[in-house]
Amino acid sequence: MGSICRALVLLCLSCLMILACSETNTLEQGKQLRHGELLRSSNGIFRLGFFQLSSYADKSFLGIWYKDSGWYKNEGNTPIVQFPVWIANRNNPIFNRSGILSVNRNGCPQILSGEKEIIALCSTRASKARATLQVDGNFVLQELNSDGSVKGNLWQSFDHPTDTLLPGMKLGFNLKTGFNWTLTSRRSFFSPASGSFTLAVDPNDTKQLVILRPDDVYWRSGPWQRSSSGFPHLKSLQDSGYNFSFTQNEYETYFNFTTNPALVIFPKLRIEYEGSDRVLEISTEGFSRSLVSCTSHYSSSNCHSGVLRQTEEGLLVWCNYTTTAGCIKQKLPECRDTMLDYDYISSDYGSMSSPGYRFSDSENLTLEDCKVKCLLNCSCFTFATTNDKDETGSEIWVSRAFFRQTYNGRMIYMLLSKGMFASLSRFTKFLTY
């Protein structure tokens, strides 16, 4: 009987040791984190590991996500995470589930594909170091003394954001270290690579946030108003547990936010890739809210010169000719009617009767970029992405071409002025000139 009890005790201890190892939040120097293995923050909220965007994707990435954001198609497989809060290799995906994360002999985290290095996350050198996923979702590389105590921080993921701002992260710049903290949207729903929109603190010392596209300013927040506790359109969130702040001193200028944990669960602020429908979104568990929507479906008659239009829900919408705050209307060529707002609708899947003009894949164009290419070409009213797998690339039609509906075709888009939307709700055939 005694031997059975001792065996049971040893078995329980072994299970606890295995559980403790599987629940670690730290990657020690010389150790490896492989596909299917995770780091878990000590509060259980965050996960770090390799993930895929969909169950049929052939690419994987190293990232951080909230614990309930990932799911598994099959037990033991790479987790599926649609919206991670941070990605280490967004522009350098890994194929064949061969990814490995390790802290190398120089004390720097590196991502390997098999034995080949894909990306080194830092350029520092330390003889003894470890990387820890902290309770706020920050992945921190720490230099250690010979006795194992922490000497200092060498690198952190919070200094290299992707498209998401977490409480405690900074959006702005540090004049001493040279860090420029910005958020850049993903390329499409199926591609987390760097996209068209960037959220940043205006470097021109205007104390405001700006959303930038490659060639222009897309949106301005308006100056921070210390007397009224922030940007006007964020006031409605103050009572919901969000606290926003703007800091400026001789070393740093940055925007950030904190939350009341009793009111807000799993908060994040994300810049979207879609453009017109929603650009900036704040979300928590089971709830999301657009903060900025530069949609051209709103009539210019609702705007007044120099005044930012705001819906009852606190949503900022398109205001024509406003340059001090709000969505900045794009400058159009003379061939386009500057008094009209333009947007696009999608057809059924199909093909065009003749080839269009294809832009080089090296331009890394998104669907929003493709819309702009079409809008700036006076002869274009039809466009499509060229890579259906991740909805990237651009092809526009500027000559006579018919749309043909096919079940194995591409999604074709038609550029229309606002006045045409009322009379055209769906189409299966159209002609461009």
Give the C-alpha distances (Å, rounded to integers) separating 25 from 43, 134, 162, 429: 10, 7, 21, 56
Q: What is the pLDDT of residue 159?
A: 96
| Contact assessment for residue 125 and residue 132, using Cβ atoms and an 8 Å cutoff | no
pLDDT band at 408 (very low <50, low <70, confident <90, very high): confident
Q: What is the pLDDT of residue 276?
A: 60
pLDDT digits (tens, 9 = 90+) for 171-219: 999 989 889 999 999 999 889 999 999 999 998 888 889 999 887 888 8
pLDDT digits (tens, 9 = 90+) for 299-319: 333 333 333 333 434 444 434
Residue 324 predicted with pLDDT over 90: no
- The total of other beta-carbon atoms located within 10 Å of residue 399's CB is 13
Q: What is the pLDDT of residue 56?
A: 66
The chain-wide mean pLDDT, for the chain, equals 80
User: In degrees rounded to 5, what are phi and psi of residue 193?
Assistant: -60, 160
- 3-state secondary structure (DSSP) of residue 390: coil
Nearest to 86 by CA among 46, 58, 114: 46
pLDDT digits (tens, 9 = 90+) for 330-368: 777 888 776 566 767 776 688 888 999 999 988 889 998
Q: What is the pLDDT of residue 359?
A: 95
- The total of other beta-carbon atoms located within 10 Å of residue 7's CB is 10
pLDDT band at 281 (very low <50, low <70, confident <90, very high): confident
Distance between CA atoms of residues 220 and 217, nearest Å = 8
* Structure token pair of residue 95: 């194929």
Query: Which DSSP category does 419 fall into?
Result: H
Length of the chain: 433
Lowest mean pLDDT: which of 52-61, 281-290, 386-395, 398-407?
A: 281-290
Contacts of 358 (CB under 8 A, 6+ apart): 386, 393, 394, 395
Q: pLDDT higher for 337 or 82?
A: 82
Residue 414 predicted with pLDDT over 90: no
Bridge partner list, 155: 141
Residue 6 predicted with pLDDT over 70: no
User: In degrees rounded to 5, what are phi and psi of residue 349?
Assistant: -70, 140
Average pLDDT over residues 233-258: 83
Residue 20 predicted with pLDDT over 60: no
Tell how strand 209-213 and strand 431-432 pair up. unpaired
The pTM of this model reads 0.83
% of the chain residues with pLDDT over 70: 76
Q: pLDDT higher for 3 or 385?
A: 385
Q: What is the pLDDT of residue 116?
A: 77
Residue 117 predicted with pLDDT over 60: yes
